[in-house]
Copies of this chain bind each other. A is one copy, B any other.
Amino acid sequence: MSKTGVRKGPRRADAQHNHEVILAAARAAVAVRGDDIVLEDIARSAGVGIGTLYRHFPTRQELLEATFLDEALELRQRAEELKTAPAALGALIDWLRLQMDFGAHGRSMGAAVMNAKHTEGTEIQIACVSMRDAGAVLLRRAQDAGEVRPDVEIASLLRLMHGIVMANEHAPDQSLVNPMFDVVIAGIRT
């Protein structure tokens, strides 16, 4: 029931160290190649064996999620900061754009993470939920200010950002990203 597969408690020093090194290597790789990273490459560039990588991150999915965790936390943080921005709608728009930028930078990393049916209580699941909740506050504020239609939901909005990133991910030109974003923004305005 609580076998999460990866321990977070006190570990042997070498294990702790390897965990960090692997994660760093994974982040670097994801930043370049997106979610089609090659796990053996990461192990090699981290200077550990493939077996070690798999002990720390039993699944490709878990490794990707771990690299995404920081981003989720930062997006939550940004939302907190934007809560007090003068323009309610402007704050929401800025934050939604951040969603895309993060997603675009890490390629479809979000894809692997956001669509996964995370088991309740997972670290990544908690992070995603709290990020989304923070965004919901921004949305609500813009709605209360009468700038955004009241029937729009945060989940739809996030998934739309996600969709824009995905749809443009392998496209030769990125020139449609802004027009697509603009359509969505126009669509939530009152």
Interface residues of A (CB under 8 A from B): 111, 115-117, 149, 152-153, 155-157, 159-160, 162-172, 176, 179-180, 182-188
Contact = CB atoms under 8 A, between A and B. Distances in A.
6 contacts: A115-B171, A152-B179, A159-B167, A162-B163, A182-B187, A186-B186
A182 B176 CA distance: 20
Copies in the complex: 2
Contacts of A180: 156, 159-160, 163
Contacts of A160: 163-164, 167, 180, 183-184
A167 to B, nearest CB: 3
A149 B186 contact: yes
Given A153-B179, A186-B188, A167 B166 contact: yes
Interface centre among A116, A163, A171, A182 (most CB of B within 10 A): A163
B164 A176 contact: no
